[in-house]
């Protein structure tokens, strides 16, 4: 973000850059130093050609870089400039100046890539950093946004894969698509990163993590990543940061969409949906299927007791969103999401044993958004998120303790008060009850109530 902001001046004209005094002096020497350098260093001519075609900010960056190089080399240049025949200069520049201009050419060549990587829309509206809508450029927290366009261009299949491209995010995965994945933000542990799906918690209370490897991007519209401690807004699970994932919603004229693809290792991907707006109602429905035969995560030559077969993965996902606006001040929305994954993985007992797991990540939410007066916006959300996993050995349930299910029941009442121009007060209360059930213990419940002012 800083790079983009500082590199933005468009008032620098690429036609108005004069030749520096040093270059004029060198060119007038005997022989002309720049002429000599061009003959011996082809990269220098390329640098000058790129400068003529460069953007204003590229010229500014290059000027700062070359000024720094000249500052480092100025004592040497002053010592050898008047040596007859330029022998000392040739010896010096053969090892120093050549490297300098080659480095400069390298930086100029990379500058368009750097610009593309930091092409951030600062007018993008985000909600995760402060729990209310705010332009990205006004957020105090370090925030990144993955848009629908980014998702399409990435060609990634799941959330875990595309998050690898976000600064400050580290992903650890024990194999290919669908395998156990751990998410870290700025070095924090995986249990200190809160993952929300449309504002709903879908994490496992037993492992402390969220199964982002089972969230397929065919269902996702955008992702917001907030790095740093925001526990004052979301609780202790957000010490490292928050990743909020938004499923697709209806916009514009109703349209159908469909996509399909095939790849190596028996990989198949299919998705279809319908979405749009009709009068005062927005709706969207998406269905997707992903299958792959995968590869073996363990090498049988190194682990003789493991099964050498491939570790496949199969996922079926569906999401539906509907929102109706009764008028400009009141609306009601409902959202449903379900991801069912079947995953194969390696074990360590016998080479003939096969291991697999059934994983389900789902959520349901009902949201009422109301403007009570000109300065008071109220939002109430009733939601439930579920994470369930059961492990199997040779197609039979594994030993007791192989089934774990977490149910997150959540009630949030959030109020945004407009105090004055540019000043807002956020106040609310959130009730969270987590229930854990397994084949060992029918039900273990835990409730918590958090107030946010």
Over residues 397-430, the pLDDT tens digits come to 877 778 899 999 999 999 999 988 878 899 999 9
Predicted pLDDT of residue 302 = 83
Alpha-carbon Rg of the chain, whole angstroms? 29
- Compute, in degrees rounded to 10, the torsion defined by CA atoms 26, 30, 32, 33: -60
Predicted pLDDT of residue 447 = 57
Q: What b-and-e string marks burial along 322-337, b requiring 16 or more CB atoms within 10 Å of the CB? A: bbebeeeeebebebeb
440: Cβ–Cβ under 8 A, 6 or more apart, which residues?
A: 400, 401
Q: What is the mean pLDDT of each run of 10 residues along the chain (453 residues)?
A: 32 36 38 46 48 50 52 43 40 43 41 42 86 90 95 94 95 91 92 96 92 96 96 92 96 94 94 95 97 86 83 96 96 98 86 89 97 94 96 83 90 93 89 89 58 44
Phi and psi, residue 402, nearest 5°: -90, -10
Helix (H) / strand (E) containing 59: helix 56-80
DSSP codes joined into one string, 85-122: GGHHHHHHHHHTHHHHHHHHHHHHHHHHHHHHHT---T
Taking CA 83 as the corner, what is the angle to CA 78 and CA 87, rounded to the nearest 5 degrees?
110
DSSP state, 395? T
Neighbours of 209 (CB within 10 A): 18
Distance, CA of 351 to CA of 312 (rounded, Å): 17
Predicted pLDDT of residue 26 = 39
Neighbours of 399 (CB within 10 A): 8
Domains of the chain: 2-117 (no CATH), 125-247 (2.170.130.10), 255-452 (2.40.170.20)
Taking CA 429 as the corner, what is the angle to CA 227 and CA 424, rounded to the nearest 5 degrees?
65
Among candidate residues 346, 345, 408, the one with its CA nearest the CA of residue 208 = 408
Predicted pLDDT of residue 85 = 41
Predicted pLDDT of residue 295 = 87
Specify whether the CB–CB gap between 350 and 383 falls below 8 A: no
* pTM metric for this prediction: 0.72
Instruction: Give me 170's structure tokens.
Output: 């580290």
């Amino acid at each position: 973000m800083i790079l983009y902001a500082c590199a933005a001046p468009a008032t620098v004209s690429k036609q108005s850059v004069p030749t520096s005094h040093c270059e004029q002096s060198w060119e007038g020497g005997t022989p002309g130093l720049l002429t000599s350098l061009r003959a011996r260093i082809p990269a220098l001519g390329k640098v000058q050609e790129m400068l003529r075609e460069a953007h204003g900010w590229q010229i500014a960056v290059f000027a700062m870089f070359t000024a720094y190089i000249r500052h480092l080399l100025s004592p040497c240049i002053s010592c050898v400039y008047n040596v007859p025949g330029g022998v000392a200069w040739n010896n010096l520049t053969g090892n120093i100046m050549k490297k300098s201009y080659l480095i400069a050419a390298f930086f100029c060549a990379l500058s368009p890539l750097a610009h593309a990587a930091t092409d951030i829309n600062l007018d993008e509206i985000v909600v995760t950093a402060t729990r209310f809508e705010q332009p990205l450029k006004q957020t105090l927290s370090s925030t990144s946004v993955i848009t629908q366009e980014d998702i399409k261009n990435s060609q990634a299949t799941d959330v875990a894969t595309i998050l690898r491209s976000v600064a400050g995010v580290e992903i650890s995965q024990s194999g290919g698509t669908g395998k156990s994945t751990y998410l870290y933000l700025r070095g924090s542990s995986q249990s200190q990163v809160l993952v929300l799906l449309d504002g709903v918690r879908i994490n496992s209370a037993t492992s402390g993590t969220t199964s982002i490897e089972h969230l397929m991007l065919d269902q996702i519209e955008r992702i917001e990543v907030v790095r740093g401690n925001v526990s004052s807004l979301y609780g202790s699970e957000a010490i490292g940061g928050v990743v909020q994932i938004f499923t697709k919603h209806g916009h514009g004229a109703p349209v159908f969409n469909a996509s399909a693809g095939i790849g190596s290792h028996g990989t198949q991907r299919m998705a279809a949906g319908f979405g749009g707006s009709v009068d005062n109602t927005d709706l969207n429905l998406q269905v997707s299927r992903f299958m792959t035969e995968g590869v073996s995560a363990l090498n049988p030559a190194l682990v003789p007791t493991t099964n050498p077969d491939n570790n496949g993965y199969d996922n079926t996902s569906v999401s539906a969103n509907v929102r109706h606006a009764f008028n400009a001040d009141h609306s009601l929305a409902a959202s449903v999401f379900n991801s069912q994954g079947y995953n194969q993985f390696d074990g360590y007992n016998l080479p003939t044993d096969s291991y697999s797991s059934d994983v389900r990540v789902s959520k349901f939410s009902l949201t009422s958004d109301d403007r009570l007066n000109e300065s008071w916006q109220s939002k109430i959300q009733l939601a439930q998120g579920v994470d369930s996993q059961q492990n199997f050995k040779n197609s039979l349930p594994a030993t007791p303790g192989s089934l774990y299910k977490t149910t997150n029941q959540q009630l949030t009442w959030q109020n945004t008060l407009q105090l004055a121009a540019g000043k807002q007060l956020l106040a609310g209360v959130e009730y969270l009850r987590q229930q854990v059930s397994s084949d060992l213990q029918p039900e273990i419940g835990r409730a918590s109530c958090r107030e946010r002012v």
